[in-house]
Amino acid sequence: MSAPAHRIHYTYAEYLSLESASNVKHEYLDGQIYGMAGATPEHAALTATVVGLLFPQPVGGRCRAHSSDMRVRVSATGLSTYPDVTVVCGPRELHPDDENAVTNPTLLVEVLSPSTEGYDRGDKFEHYKSMPSLRQYVLVSQRERRVEVWTRGEDGDWQARTTTDGEVARLDAIDCTLDVRTLYEAAQASA
């Protein structure tokens, strides 16, 4: 999250009005609007490749993968943000104050960049954990061929499994897999 705009407090309606007229994306939390940094070509290629690899798998049936243009609203904490990939299974539930923000993702993916890794692993993940529908949170490294999958257990606890080059990440929440080597090789070819 970058520094907030200079105003003291924005309502959510003001945020939506500003966001609809903006050519860049912003996060919203506690009355503050935060500019989101633009992605590097490597980041964009990894994000697009994740969507491309998920699309032909079962996710295309009962679940739908969305690009980083899909806004997600965390009702419990008030965060509005744009994950790199959002997968919703079943009907999309929209926030009552925002017809363009889903509130029921099943799986979220963030591609880690040096400037956002701490936030994606820390505060942002804490916000995401408060979403009852979220079953898995996937962190894709830009520095090495590594995919970390956080899965919510039946007891509500989150457990991580890391997969590296030559391994396959299981995305059981959406009945899919991500072959780590294929992910990085395809992303590298398109970057």
pLDDT, tens digit, 9 for 90 and up, residues 64-73: 999 999 999 9
Closest to 15 measured CA to CA, from 98, 125, 123: 98
At 59, the pLDDT band (50, 70, 90 cuts) reads low
The pTM score is 0.92
β-bridge mates for residue 151, sequence order: 136, 159
Q: Is the pLDDT of residue 10 over 90?
A: yes
Q: What pLDDT does 46 receive?
A: 95
Q: What is the percent of the chain with per-residue pLDDT over 90, rounded to a whole number?
A: 81
**Residue ranges making up the domain that contains 128:** 39-190
Token digits for 15? 């945020």
In terms of domains, do 117 and 141 share one? Answer: yes
Residues 104 and 48 in one domain: yes
Distance CA 20, CA 25 (A): 9
Task: Looking at the structure, tell me whether residues 90 and 22 fall in a common domain.
Answer: no
Report d(CA 102, CA 87) in Å as an integer. 10
